[in-house]
Each structure stands twice: as C-alpha cells, then as structure tokens.
Amino acid sequence: MSDLTELATALPEWATAIASQLDNKQLKKVNRTLAMEMRAVNRERIRAQTDPDGSDFVDPLKASNNPMFRELTKARHLKFNATSRHAQIGFEGSAAKIARIHHEGQRSTVRPDSSKKFPYPKRELIGISRADRHIIIRVLRESLTAD
C-alpha cells in the first residue's frame, strides 16, 4: 500500500494543529473517513484515466476498446487502511505489482510466460491533487462539528 505522505504538506498549519488535539479514537475515525474518501476520489480518477495533476494517461502501445485498469478500481484490489496514526490507500497482491509497474513507468513482461520486457509509460495512479486537499480539509472540519 502507498502511504499518503504528501498529506502533511497538503494541509494548512491550522488543520495539523486540530488533528494533533484529537484523541486516538477520533483520529482513527477521521483517518478512516479520509481513507475512504481518497479511495473513492482516486478510483474515479483512475476510471477517467487521468493523473492527479489532471493530465490524461499516456495511451497504451496497443489500442483496445477496453479502458486501462478496469479491474484495479474494484474494491478487492484498491484497499484502504486507517489507524489513529495514518490513513493509507493502495493495491495489494498481484494488483500491486501491476499498479507499481504503471505508476513508476517500469519495464515488464506483458505476459507471465514471456521473457521480452516492454517499457511502460509512467501513469500516476494514486496521488493527492489540489482538489483532494479541499476534501481533506472538509473531512477535518466535519470531524470537529460531529463531536
């Protein structure tokens, strides 16, 4: 799974101060809500085939009628985890391997039985956009008014 380490730089100072005043139970609840929201946002972004910065994914080498990453957006592949210390979204198992190859733009085989490796263009599957920062702030504000 990919830890949302960009979160600290995405939040204004007041939001970080508010989060530091919550107890562990409240933090876990906030982080769970945040992880679910970010998973939904990233799922829609992957379905739309855009990077967090809004640019379109690089087209695949071989044209297909099926959209890329159709299976990766399903809940059984795109997981979230939340504790009082962190909110995390990412892929697990073989889906994580496929996602990492595309996310980092690595070289890999197309089929498991092939030895020929192809370069995959970088497609940022999970990240925090400018709009996502507003979601994070909204979740924090809602957590304050809910108590």
Domain spans, the chain: 2-146
User: Is the overall model pTM greater than 0.85, yes or no?
Assistant: no
**From start to end of the chain, where are the E strands?**
2-3, 78-82, 87-91, 107-109, 117-119
CA dihedral 64, 68, 70, 74 (to 10 degrees): 170
Residue range 51-107, pLDDT digits in tens: 998 999 887 766 665 677 888 888 889 999 999 888 899 999 889 998 999 889 899
User: How high is the pLDDT of residue 91?
Assistant: 92
How far apart, in Å, are the Cα atoms of 4 and each of 27, 30, 66, 100, 107?
15, 14, 29, 15, 25
Q: Are 77 and 91 in contact (CB under 8 A)?
A: yes
Point out which residues pair with 67 in neighbouring strands: none
pLDDT, tens digit, 9 for 90 and up, residues 9-54: 556 677 677 777 888 898 899 899 999 999 999 999 999 999 998 9
β-sheet bridge partners, residue 109: 117
Single-letter code of the amino acid located at 3 = D
